[in-house]
Amino acid sequence: MSMDNIAILEALKERFDLDTENSKILVVGLGHTGVSVAYYLQKLGFKFAITDSRDKPPLKDAFFEAMPDTPIFTGGFDEAAFEVATHLVVSPGVSLTEKSIVKAIAIGVKVISDIDLFACSVDVPIVAITGSNGKSTVTTMVGEMAKASGKQVAVGGNLGTPALDLLADNAELYVLELSSFQLERTSALNAAAATVLNVSADHLDRHDDLASYALEKQRIFRGNGVLVLNADDLVVSKIEEKGRCAFTFTTKDTNADFYIGIQDDKECLMHDKETLMSIAELPLEGRHNAANALAAIALGMAVGLDKSAMCNALREFKGLDHRMQKVAKIRGVTWVNDSKATNIGACVAALEGYDTKVILIAGGDAKGADMNELAPYIKDKTKGVVLLGKDAQLIKQAINESVPTYAAKSMEEAVKICAEIAEGGDSVLLSPACASLDQYKNYQDRGNQFSKAVLRLLA
């Protein structure tokens, strides 16, 4: 549940020296997170203003109608507004390397996040989930497991509802998906159970390198809760937090707390020597989704969820849109939408989930990633690749003619090419390994365009 306002104000004062009399808070970014922060601050009686670098943030008109007395600065960052502030609440979409933010930090202005505010406002367990890939799936799995266990649970964060909008008096458990951008400005989170599912090259346009990206992810473990670690990931498996309870999971051997074992000639999810359920009962395809299920069970056990209820929730779990989503089977060809695969690691996980070679649609904005890391998996797991988007040429160069490649200017054209080269029994996989914003509104728009193009084949 959320605490009463007096207790919240006391926690904010103790942790961040925030008080309603002397603090002047500047909310940086008028997106969904910024709006959630504004409503939270108004409820508690803080003085605040909002700034956004865009001339017309999409939410500005509706927000101004709801809070007409709130000072709003748009069309660039006014350094004077930053200099007056005592605290900045910076939205995840805004880089901390912005000149105005750097200057403000240099003169002693404190930077906090919406997750910090959230953490100071709850007194029930929080499950926190991050990773380059799979975090939305695992977050949703844990939420469904909590419901099946009879818990009043609120699920959100980077996935769906902003954290501060989740606050509710009847909540018994919060499950948060957190991005590296949220974590890099968060210091107060003390999750009862937390995981870094995996670390692969992503967002290197915002983080200096893979090592600094991994360090931001590791901030999720601050506090004294249970760590859930992927023993198969080279980076995550090396994380150590002395004196902390840790659960490990693996799909490659049996040397972990949660693993895949053989019982009655069937592959099963296992905890120690206990059989939990058969992998065949999982509705989701791919080995990576078995790993996601193990991680979700480990997190659930860490906060006392019922084993049987968790397994039942997994049996009923239908997956998320744009994540290994089967669109159609047409003339023996299976079409799969994995548009959420916005980085190399996600594409690799999707490819490794197949026992036979697939036709891959890839490309978009590589965000500074080295596509040579993707090339061996394409060579091993695909019979052809259709490339589109801003950095298609980078992937083509990395593949170096190891498999046939085709160029497409649009998703419609990409799907038509795949339809021409696919044979009965093949799978066509949209798993771009790149962000979508070079051609689409977001990864959802990209996935929807793929699905529409596939369904037009039926006509």
Q: How far apart are CA 88 and CA 103, in angstroms?
A: 12
**Which residue is it, tokens 């959420």?**
340
Domain membership of residue 184 as a residue range? 117-316
Both 368 and 428 in one domain: the answer is yes
Both 413 and 370 in one domain: the answer is yes
Condensed to tens digits (0 to 9), the pLDDT of residues 296-334 reads 999 999 999 999 999 999 999 988 888 888 899 999 999
* C-alpha torsion angle, residues 398, 378, 358, 408 (rounded to 10): -10
Where among 82, 112, 142 does a domain terminate?
112
CATH number, domain at 202?
A: 3.40.1190.10
Q: How far apart are CA 75 and CA 254, in angstroms?
A: 56
Condensed to tens digits (0 to 9), the pLDDT of residues 139-192 reads 999 999 999 999 999 999 998 899 999 999 999 999 999 998 899 889 999 999
Residue 277 belongs to some domain of the structure: yes
Runs of H (alpha helix) within 281-391: 287-302, 307-316, 344-352, 375-381
CATH number, domain at 373?
A: 3.90.190.20
Both 255 and 135 in one domain: the answer is yes
Distances, alpha carbon 45 to alpha carbons 42, 85, 163, 166, in Å: 5, 16, 19, 19
Both 95 and 213 in one domain: the answer is no
**Is the distance from CB of 281 to CB of 269 less than 8 angstroms?**
no
Rounded to two decimals, the pTM is 0.82
Condensed to tens digits (0 to 9), the pLDDT of residues 91-123 reads 998 989 999 999 999 999 999 999 999 999 999
Q: How many domains does the chain have?
A: 3
Where among 70, 88, 112 does a domain terminate?
112
Q: List active site positions.
A: 135, 158, 203
Distances, alpha carbon 90 to alpha carbons 49, 73, 114, 184, in Å: 12, 14, 8, 11
